[in-house]
Amino acid sequence: MPSSPPRLLRIGISACLLGEPVRFNGGHKESRLCSEVLARHFEFVPVCPEVAIGLGTPREPIRLVGETANPRALGTVNRERDVSEALAAYGRGTAAQLDDICGYILMQKSPSCGMERVKVYQPDGRPAEGGGRGLFAAALMQARPDLPVEEDGRLNDPVLRENFLTRVFAYAEWQRLRQTGLTRQALVGYHSRYKYQLMATHPLQYQALGRLIAGLGRQPLEEIAPRYFSQLMEALKKTATRGTHSNVLQHLCGYLKRVLSAAEKQELQQLIDQYRQGTVPLVVPLTLIKHHFRRHPDAYIAQQAYLQPHPEALGLRNAL
């Protein structure tokens, strides 16, 4: 019998981004990137916390009021309507219920779902500088601090989009590792796979995590593993640059120096230089490096997540 296709990774998402008419005015905020592009590669789990806690559609809008670090969600017409606890409780409940999601995409600027820079109004009616975080989003992120989370607007930036989805697949791989039984050997192997990805995003944290793994034998696995993963996910939030990518590409070239001709080395160096200068995207030198490793396989390099941290069909590195 033919094997069934692999299950798509599940990602939570603000329902309005998929075109569901759940906004306060009965409309939506469909993101074509999410609903038409990413939906081909992921199973989205749509959530609207405001509808879920019983606010109708259409409905009176809510807004954040008070301290930016701890605002209240109040009605804009009926100031006695306070849904702060309900939104926070639903965020915690969603975090627990959707235990198999590998990421979350939030609606920007929303008093319930906004990840950052949400307007928080002061007694004088003016929004506070810097803004705050939507109450559902805040509770969700507090309950699942390692979960990759991003806002829809930021995903239009190709660098941030690639960074987010790299974290989604790293998170999914860790979850599979835990389900099959996390061992010291498996943890070392996982870290080894993400060596060059870490080097591209956060070289200093790569060194720190290496030292943490080096001390694995001196600490209980159940203590060091969650600490390692939390630090890894925090490190992967940092976006790689042309400089750090170029550094990794040079490291990879080191494994080919004995098998390439002088002309091949020169061609590869030229493409890396062109990438560093912004003339060509990352996929150009990376494609040539992959070609050479297909001709001259290396077991250690073959396992590196950096070479393909997400499915090639997503084309995420074409615009980097």
- Write down the pLDDT at residue 49: 98
Q: What token pair was written down for 2? A: 């033919």
pTM: 0.95
- Write down the pLDDT at residue 5: 64
H or E element: which one contains 142? Answer: helix 135-143
- Write down the pLDDT at residue 2: 52
H or E element: which one contains 120? Answer: strand 120-121
Q: Whose CA is closest to 104, among 73, 141, 79?
A: 141
- Write down the pLDDT at residue 133: 98
**What tens-digit pLDDT sequence spans the chain (320 residues)?**
455 567 899 999 999 999 999 999 999 999 999 999 999 999 999 999 999 999 999 999 999 999 999 999 999 999 899 999 999 999 999 999 999 999 999 999 999 999 999 999 998 889 999 999 999 999 999 999 999 999 999 999 999 999 999 999 999 999 999 999 999 999 999 999 999 999 999 999 999 999 999 998 888 999 999 999 999 999 999 999 999 999 999 999 999 999 999 999 999 999 999 999 999 999 999 999 999 999 999 999 999 999 999 999 999 999 99
Are the CB atoms for 91 and 140 separated by under 8 Å?
A: yes
- Write down the pLDDT at residue 6: 74
Burial of 56 from C-beta contacts in 10 A (0-12 / 13-18 / 19+) = exposed
Rounded distance, CA 160 to CA 150, Å?
A: 9
Are the CB atoms for 164 and 103 separated by under 8 Å?
A: yes
Q: Whose CA is closest to 197, among 317, 297, 277?
A: 317
